[in-house]
Structure 1
């Protein structure tokens, strides 16, 4: 479906998403937080069984309660649909999202530090990371501006022991303000790029721009850029010695304690998991008598 073309002047309520997003869902956030249970500092990473340890080929969902509800079909550009509603729906449903804590340095030598949850690893050889910016190259945020000018950055993973400081780096500070200082975090000199990496981070990656950024155009306002995709290549890794093995190819999740992004202003902890082997088709399907009817 092609969206009807309009202008920002004709339908202003659909645009200026940043100004429409209500970051604080609570009338008094500090009061709400004080009334919640304390942070469970002693909670440790542990494994549980998978929901259905006896699951068999063709069994489907481990819980049938999904059949009690219907899916509502939504046209993201339907009449009366505000674009900010799409944003809220997407960040609430596409979770948990890893956070790229990006350090950059301007051509004038001022460092910048900001978290991005439109971020992920997309290739391992070469190591390539994708970062989404809700701005254009012509009107970039500080991080994007610095990447465009220097083609360098560092990617840092946020852990529980500095989540408050990392969150503070999402502030709308004016251009030229050093978030390292505001947050009280430690810049560590990198080896192959000018941008420092975060000392508190247990895993950091020095990176360079991989290819020219790709801009995304609005479906409703001709020639309006709504976002920019940047691919960067990791060229040097920094891993804290105690969170990995001697070969530095396995990470101890119980020590990394990564923080993920959820919907709204929520963050997620990673303190439990379960394992499941990747199925081998010949072994687990072809030789399984119960599975053979599914191949017909």
Structure 2
């Protein structure tokens, strides 16, 4: 194929790709194909501008985080969980929403997740900012030969059944490109799900780093491995509640936007042993004290939530 003389060289395109990846912008996908644009016949500047225009939502300037954080109030460790009244204690059957009809005055917009020109990343951002708060599973695994260990957080996670105790965890990417946690789980069929609390949230967040296979996040996070009873992976000693689990099922998802491309996977595991800190569990060993657990949840972007207020509503009687 004849190459248009207006195309920049490989070196220039590589430099452009490197600059975009290392700038203070947040690329959702890496852009390796920028270095291959010289194989096409369309002038590069036009293609690059078109690409950056179509994916502008993926590249948003982010100010220096530490400067922003310095302007915010200090985290109050002494904040206790408060149980309040419901928004409308006088609510009765048939009353509907408790906002006096204000929500009915607002209009909705229809969103087709696969509309032409809509980046897949927009669906990701929309879902993680609207399906909130989400529990976070800090999953510990180890390789089949026991030579490497791994620790990583996942907010695509949930308990889905209590008999048997069943949990799901979602992963980005297909089975063919499985990263450490999914790879270890498929090889060994074992893991530990550790619930994250306020007192070790920074350490837990540090395990989200994308390290090469074989590099353990236990060391980089400073968290403490503790023995388990049924499975081989260690549990996190700092975690107030942890679940030893065994693999039940694995499912892979295929992209709607790019047929044939595997974009996600989900594992189902069964809890085979629970670990609860003594000061958090009741005498019947059937409930964890929220005021001790102080769980951390995931919101949109890089935002996390804490539970400092709650209210109770009895189930309606028949």
Shift of 1:47: 0.4
Q: 1:269 to 1:24 in 2, by over 3 A?
A: farther
TM-score (norm 1): 0.87
Structure 1 position 25, deviation (Å): 6.3
Matched-pair contact (CA < 8 Å) for 1:26–1:32: no
Contact kept in structure 2, 1:151 and 1:208, CA below 8 Å: yes
Q: Which residue of structure 1 lines up, in the alignment, with residue 214 of structure 2?
A: 176
Give 1:264's aligned residue: 301
Query: Which residue among 9, 29, 34 is the counterpart of 2:65?
Result: 29
The match for 1:132 among 170, 177, 199 is: 170
Q: Is the 8 A contact 2:58 2:121 kept in 1?
A: no
The question of whether the paired residues in 1 share the 8 Å contact of 2:28 and 2:58 is answered with no
SS at match of 1:87: helix
Corresponding residue number in structure 2 for 1:39:
75
Q: Equivalents in 2 of 1:38, 1:68: separation in Å?
A: 37
Task: Describe the SS at the equivalent of 1:43.
Answer: coil
Matches within 5 A, 1:107-146: 107-109=144-146, 110-146=148-184
Q: 1:104 aligns with which of 135, 138, 141?
A: 141
**Deviation of the 1:220 alpha carbon:** 2.4
Q: In structure 2, what is the Cα distance between the partners aligned to 1:190 and 1:253?
A: 24
Residue 92 of structure 2 aligns to a residue in which SS?
coil
Quick check: 1:188 aligned with 2:226?
Answer: yes
2: CA distance, partners of 1:280 / 1:229? 37
**1:223-234 residue pairs with structure 2 within 5 A?**
223-234=260-271
Q: Secondary structure at the match of 1:53?
A: coil
Aligned length: 265
Question: Corresponding residue for 2:191?
Answer: 153
In the TM superposition, what is the alpha-carbon distance from 1:151 to its structure 2 partner? 0.5
* Helix, strand or coil at the partner of 1:254: helix
Matched, 1:83 2:120: yes
Give SS of 1:92's match.
Answer: helix
Give the unaligned 5+ runs of structure 2.
1-26, 31-54
Aligned-residue offset at 1:26: 2.9
Q: Quickly say closer, same or farther: Cα 1:247–1:203, change in 2 above 3 A.
A: same
CA distance in 2 between counterparts of 1:17 and 1:24 reads 10
Match of 1:71 in 2: 108
Report if aligned partners of 1:101, 1:157 keep a CA contact under 8 Å in 2: yes
Structure 1: segments with no counterpart, 5+ residues? 1-15, 282-296
Normalization by structure 2: what TM-score?
Answer: 0.81
Larger Rg: 2
C-alpha distance 77-129 of structure 1, shift in aligned 2 (>3 A): same
Mapped partners of 1:25, 1:166: distance in 2: 26
- 1:138 is paired with a residue of what secondary structure? helix
Q: From 77, 85, 96, give the equivalent of 1:60.
A: 96
* CA–CA distance in structure 1, aligned partners of residues 163 and 296 of structure 2: 25
SS of equivalent residue, structure 1 residue 77 = coil
Task: Say which SS state the counterpart of residue 192 (structure 1) adopts.
Answer: coil
Deviations 1:146-189 (A, max 9, x none): 00000000000000000000000001111111101100000012
Q: CA deviation at 1:68?
A: 2.8
CA contact (8 A) 1:134 1:226 kept: yes
8 Å Cα contact 1:106/1:150 also seen in 2 = yes
